[in-house]
Amino acid sequence: MGAIGIVVRACAPLAPAAAAAPAPSGSSSRDAAQAQRWSKPTRTGRVLVLGGTGRVGGSTATALSKLRPDLGILVGGRNRFDREKGESIAAKLGGQSEFVQVDTRNAGMLEEALQGVDLVVHTAGPFQRAEECTVLQAAISTKTPYIDVCDDTDYSWRAKGFHEQAKAAGVPAITTAGIYPGVSNVMAAELVHAARSENGEPERLRFFYYTAGTGGAGPTILTTSFLLLGEDVIAYNKGEEIKLKPYSGALNIDFGKGVRKKNVYLLNLPEVKSAFKILGVPTVSARFGTAPFFWNWGMQAFANFLPVEFLRDRNKVQKLVQSVDPLVRAVDGIAGEHVSMRVDLDCSNGRNTIGLFTHKKLSV
């Protein structure tokens, strides 16, 4: 949520500057629309939260509203079936908020929805197997600041491919800005920076994550987890890229008070590639675990016995998740929403540091 808050605040000072600089002759209608959007500093800011009827998007909308009560929150849902829930969420956010129906696969609908919007927050997962960055492209086209909670390696690097376009358009755009990856990346970057400031060269970086049940995130995080079981795990060992079996390589990690020791397993997560390429750490891996223990058994069974073709098919996986959703909700009620992130860094000078973050509620 911190990253989102920074983006919202960063947008606000643009109003006076934009008002002072008239659009040059021959500028596009989109440029004019952006200038008009930022030329009224007294106007209520508007944020579109895509996937706003889901647990992640709904939590995001609520947090943004608390951070900036003056914001108008547009709760975006994919279809008419989301309307009732979306209108209920919007009503709780205040009179300036409303539900809007937006198909994230439809570029024209997205561009229309982004008119007059100061920030779009894309939480409409799962991001796995998505072939295009339609929302990001629409945001660049309409000059709308963008942030997402992507947790897929391919999607995140496809998004990074639009860096120059976003830069040329003057559009702030941040990808993989959830809790993990997101906050976890910031933790890793700070550990690496601190180590180098004390003449230590990072040699190995390991991400460990634990979430009780689905952390209250429900079907989306479960769908994501199943889809990740269909991907080889990309890790790095002394500068070499290696491929490992998903949900293998179990380690028992101590997450400290409130969580204690939990088993975690290898998954293909985008922060691994980022840490290797951007932070320059030669050995990097990421592991994830959940509770109760039989969820881990189930994940291992799916990874070992379900055909890879099935696990890579979004439609089939989503149907499977729908069939087990009642069980998931029941387990969530017992397991709670605890979440914990631990980042371990080993350096050449013998320095070993740990970053740890734990919270009772993932949704918060």
**Which pair of tokens denotes residue 153?**
């390696």
DSSP code, position 119: E
- The CATH number of the domain where 119 resides is what? 3.40.50.720
Structure confidence at residue 78 as a pLDDT band (50, 70, 90):
confident
Residue 362 has what pLDDT? 84
First vs last C-alpha separation in the chain: 9
Structure confidence at residue 9 as a pLDDT band (50, 70, 90):
very low
- For 187, 200, 208, 343, the CA distances from 353, given in Å and listed in that order, are 11, 11, 14, 8
Q: What percent of the chain has pLDDT over 70?
A: 87
Once rounded to an integer, what is the mean pLDDT over residues 24-28? Answer: 43
Same domain flag for 154 and 303: no
Stronger pLDDT, 282 or 215, i.e. the higher one: 282
Whether residue 25 is contained in a domain is answered as no
Stronger pLDDT, 337 or 42, i.e. the higher one: 337
Residue 33 has what pLDDT? 53
Stronger pLDDT, 133 or 308, i.e. the higher one: 133
Instruction: Work out the mean pLDDT of the chain and round it to a whole number.
Output: 85
Same domain flag for 260 and 165: no
Torsions phi, psi for 171 (to 5 deg): -105, 115
Same domain flag for 169 and 206: no
- For 91, 93, 185, 324, 337, the CA distances from 83, given in Å and listed in that order, are 12, 15, 35, 24, 27
Same domain flag for 123 and 234: no
Can you give the residue range of the structural domain that contains 62?
A: 46-174
Altogether, the residues listed in the chain come to a count of 364
Same domain flag for 313 and 202: yes
Asked if residue 174 has pLDDT above 80, the reply is yes
Same domain flag for 215 and 296: yes
Q: How many CB atoms lie within 10 A of CB 6?
A: 14
Q: Which residues contact 114 (CB under 8 A, 6 or more apart)?
A: 48, 120, 138, 139, 142, 144
Lowest mean pLDDT among 87-96, 112-121, 140-149, 248-257: 87-96
Same domain flag for 120 and 215: no
Q: What's the structural domain count of the chain?
A: 2
Lowest mean pLDDT among 27-31, 170-174, 311-315, 349-353: 27-31
Same domain flag for 208 and 164: no
Q: Which residues contact 205 (CB under 8 A, 6 or more apart)?
A: 188, 191, 192, 275, 279, 281, 283, 284, 343, 344, 345, 346
Lowest mean pLDDT among 233-242, 287-296, 349-358: 287-296
Same domain flag for 210 and 328: yes
Structure confidence at residue 20 as a pLDDT band (50, 70, 90):
very low
Same domain flag for 138 and 220: no
Whether residue 220 is contained in a domain is answered as yes
Task: Please report which helix (H) or strand (E) contains residue 347, including its range.
Answer: strand 339-347
Evaluated on CA atoms 171, 175, 178, 182, the torsion sign reads negative
Structure confidence at residue 245 as a pLDDT band (50, 70, 90):
very high
Structure confidence at residue 5 as a pLDDT band (50, 70, 90):
very low
Structure confidence at residue 208 as a pLDDT band (50, 70, 90):
very high
Same domain flag for 202 and 152: no
Lowest mean pLDDT among 212-226, 273-287, 305-319, 330-344: 212-226
* DSSP reduced 3-state for 124: coil
Asked if residue 182 has pLDDT above 80, the reply is yes
Asked if residue 2 has pLDDT above 60, the reply is no
Whether residue 22 is contained in a domain is answered as no
Q: Side-chain half-sphere of 323: how many Cα atoms within 13 Å?
A: 6
Contact 346, 339 (CB under 8 A): no
Same domain flag for 209 and 310: yes
Give the end of a domain, one of 159, 174, 189: 174
Once rounded to an integer, what is the mean pLDDT over residues 116-145? Answer: 94
Once rounded to an integer, what is the mean pLDDT over residues 236-265? Answer: 95
